[in-house]
Amino acid sequence: MSDLRSSYLGLALKSPLVASASPICARLDAIRQLEDAGAAAVVLHSLFEEQINIESQELDRHLLQGADSFAEALDYFPAVDDYRLGPEQYLEHLRKAKEAVSIPIIASLNGVSRGGWLRYAQYMEEAGADALELNEYYIPTNPDMTGAEVEAMYCDLVREVKESVKIPVAVKIGPFFSNLANMAARLEAAGANALVMFNRFYQPDFDLEALEVVPNLRLSTSEELRLRLRWVAILHGRVQTDFAVTGGVHTHLDVIKCMMAGANVAMMTSALLQRGIDHLVRVHTDLRTWLEEHDYESIEMMQGSMSQRSSREPGDGLTPK
């Protein structure tokens, strides 16, 4: 029987199949199901510092709206003793998830302030996260900000988070850098233990009747995998971090491609949202079957086998012409 084990962020995984950050991971019962279905690790949904801040500000604003203005109604809501507004709910979920399953739990963080990144990272470590995934989703809109400044910001942040926690840190990034290879190397130098490639950017649509910009969340397809494969293949060996592919992993073949490109794990979200958690069982079975049919002894054997460095014909397929 082929050995499906892999390792990621220093964690020994029973397979390269990881459930990526999604609303599924916000439910404890779903995390248990993921483990049962063969997920080797789970990345929790992201804790969004911005969302916490917005909710906090909204609650404050609305509780104060009209307060101390009219003698008969000095406020409009009962003085509730405690609101679970901050990261408490997330951390409690993280603690419960750790208790509920034996697979590693990777906490995901999307911060907007330096203080937030550091504070919440520490909270997550204290709550028992096996590793952290920093979701560095930043869209620079200021024309005065240079690319170098943006890149420095990413690296500084990774450095500081790494200094504040002891658990491994993965960095989830997008593909849009002038020289992604250089950026990857700098993130490695800053302390990143893994690169998670890639973020899928929020691309709202226009409603032409209402003349409104509307959210348009589209799930990924296997088509999107190629960009990820290409970059993992390029970076594998050039950068010494681990690699995770996220976005476009739907089938066991997608997983195999990820491994061959050089990834340590393949993360699935859209496929699970579309087909249900049980889909993971099928992928797991198909993966094992494929390995056995193709005489691969282990996942480790194929990892990086078709990276740019390992490819027999660098000019073909995955490399630029």
Residue 266's contacts (CB-CB under 8 Å, 6 or more residues apart) are: 16, 17, 18, 244, 245, 249, 254, 255, 258, 259
Distance CA 12, CA 307 (A): 22
Among 63, 118, 153, 253, binds other proteins (CB under 8 A): 63
Our finding on whether 118 is near other proteins (CB under 8 A) is: no
Compute the least distance from the CB of residue 164 to other proteins, in Å. 17
Of 10, 12, 36, 66, the one binding other proteins by CB under 8 A? 66
Nearer to other proteins, 148 or 211 (CB): 211
DSSP state of 163: H
Residue 65 contacts other proteins per CB under 8 A: yes
By CB under 8 A, which span of 38-46, 85-93, 134-142, 307-315 interacts with other proteins? 85-93
Beta-carbon contacts of residue 184 (< 8 Å; ≥ 6 apart):
195, 235, 238, 239, 241
Least distance from other proteins to the Cβ atom of residue 218, Å: 20
> Which residue in 70, 203, 295, 321 binds other proteins (CB under 8 A)?
70
Kindly identify the residues of this chain, within the stretch 121-140, that bind other proteins according to CB under 8 A: none
Judged by CB under 8 A, does residue 164 bind other proteins? no
Residue 147 identity (one-letter amino acid): G
Span 281-310, contacts to other proteins by CB under 8 A: none
Q: Report if residue 59 touches other proteins, rule: CB under 8 A.
A: yes
Q: Where are the alpha helices (DSSP H) in the chain?
A: 28-37, 49-64, 88-100, 114-126, 147-164, 180-190, 225-235, 252-261, 270-275, 279-293, 299-302
| CB nearer to other proteins: pick between 88 and 286 | 88
214 binds other proteins (CB under 8 A): no
Q: Which residues contact 273 (CB under 8 A, 6 or more apart)?
A: 22, 23, 24, 219
Helix or strand or coil: residue 135? strand
Shorter beta-carbon distance to other proteins: residue 78 or 320: 78
Q: What are the residues whose beta carbons fall under 8 Å from the beta carbon of 165, sequence distance 6 or more?
A: 121, 122, 124, 125, 132
Q: Does 62 bind other proteins (CB under 8 A)?
A: yes
DSSP code of residue 141: -
Residue from 25, 37, 19 nearest 278 by CA: 37
Closer Cβ to other proteins, 61 or 166, answer by number: 61
Residue 217 interacts with other proteins (CB under 8 A): yes or no: no
* Residue 262: burial class (beta carbons within 10 Å; 0-12, 13-18, 19+): buried
Interface segment toward other proteins; rule CB under 8 A; list 20-28, 66-74, 181-189, 255-263: 66-74
Of 28-36, 72-80, 240-248, 278-286, the window that binds other proteins (rule: CB under 8 A) is 72-80
Q: Which is nearer to other proteins, 65 or 240 (CB)?
A: 65
Residue 209 near other proteins by CB under 8 A = no
Query: Which spans of this chain sit near other proteins (rule: CB under 8 A)?
Result: 52-53, 55-86, 89, 211-212
